[in-house]
Structure 1
């Protein structure tokens, strides 16, 4: 290990793969390319990279199948690339275990910004590095940073890495209201463009998994015109 993050690029468009590989290598990243979903699953399981850049349409196994197959045992981050620029495809990708989503055509600097944000997040030993403590208890909800584990009423709540990071950020900053600008900047490393709905979708998924649906929401509340807050002791 030479200290440079290792990226697995899963893309069957050879020309695009080579362009992305050359760009990322020039930024100091190590890149391994594979064009088949089944091969990607085998590599992720046997020699996990720091991050996977994953196309959706692949031979062998598509991107969603790759996500679902490896997510439970893979501790790195997954950035999905797709030519299908619609909200439903983003929802499906995030539901399948992706940490972020980027529509094609890929803009190199945007890809790099998203990738760096994911790598920074993955490099933290735990979200407790902000000095606010490693465990948050609110009513019957327990959030443990070191284990990246959540339970409610003693039952485990299965969250993706992206969902856990969003929950931890909201809970650790409570009772502050966090705007979409702040959440996108903290979690994705980019500026909120006024159109990005990924945070709203993650909040919706979190609420469902935490049993905080339907309204009124008692754990993650919407503050109209301002953002979201975590309500302690709901």
Structure 2
């Protein structure tokens, strides 16, 4: 059974999440304090972590920073409604997605299901019929869910892996933010949603902004992004 770890000091909310997620086929374990939550998240026993930003003794950001040192387990962060900066910081630190509080539990289930579908390499391979992409100095391999640059392994989150895949397989073509949000995050683009932008920024930092004297991932203003190709007229 797919096991989710919920780290939140709101015990009533934790009970509610258990109630909604178990019928969807998830086993749910909850921790109400961050230090024990971090230890469990690092155990490798969970397919996803739901993490609240506001925790006593250690913020969700600090926990995520420590988690990302050695684990790429998908993380969905719960943020205060209206706190856009919290969402951006969480994404920049390696969160896969976020959901502002208060939220409809059914929306949380939908977000979790979307993340779960995204990290299934076998299912994705069958749909796309592409297991390996090599372009420029990058090799993306679906079988191992790995990204290598000049034979060096680049640590990427599940979202970054899916985003890079979409950009590489459509290299030279413009992908709209709406398309990327739907294909990478498995949801519709929301008003003022900067998730894809932050994930693109993270990829640029990890892979380098330029390749062979050209911009690697180019922003197409008010439209989206494209992974450029050599000799492409931009």
TM-score (norm. length: structure 1): 0.85
Q: How many residues align?
A: 230
Q: Equivalent residue for 2:105? A: 108
**1:98 Cα deviation after fit:** 1.2
In structure 1, the partner of 2:137 is 140
| Alignment counterpart, residue 161 of structure 1, candidates 154, 158, 162 | 158
| Number of the residue aligned with 1:95 | 92
CA offset digits 1:87-115 (Å, max 9, x no partner): 32122212222111111112212211111
Q: Quick check: 1:127–1:165 contact (8 Å CA) kept in 2?
A: no
**2:54 paired with 1:57:** yes
Select 1:46's aligned residue among 34, 43, 47: 43
TM-score (norm 2): 0.85
1:151 alignment partner, one of 148, 152, 157? 148
Q: How much has 1:181 moved relative to structure 2?
A: 1.4
- 1:48–1:76 Cα contact (<8 Å) kept: no
Deviations 1:195-222 (A, max 9, x none): 2111112112222222216xx9622122
Deviation at 1:11, TM superposition (A): 0.9
Flag the 1:143–1:64 CA change in 2: closer, same or farther, 3 A: same
Of 186, 203, 214, the match for 1:189: 186
Is 2:30 aligned against 1:33? yes
Q: Which moved more, 1:82-91 or 1:35-44?
A: 82-91
Judged with a 3 Å threshold, the aligned counterparts in structure 2 of structure 1 residues 27 and 144 are, in CA distance, closer, same or farther, namely: closer
Q: Output the aligned Cα RMSD.
A: 2.6
Q: Give structure 1 regions of 4+ aligned residues with deviation exceeding 6 angstroms.
A: none
Alignment equivalent of 2:15, drawn from 1, 15, 18:
18
The structural deviation recorded for 1:152 is 3.4
- Indicate yes or no: 2:75 matched with 1:78: yes
- Where does structure 1 lack aligned partners over 5 or more consecutive residues? none
Contact 1:10 1:33 in 2 (8 A): yes
Query: Are 1:12 and 1:58, in contact at CA under 8 Å, matched by a contact in 2?
Result: yes
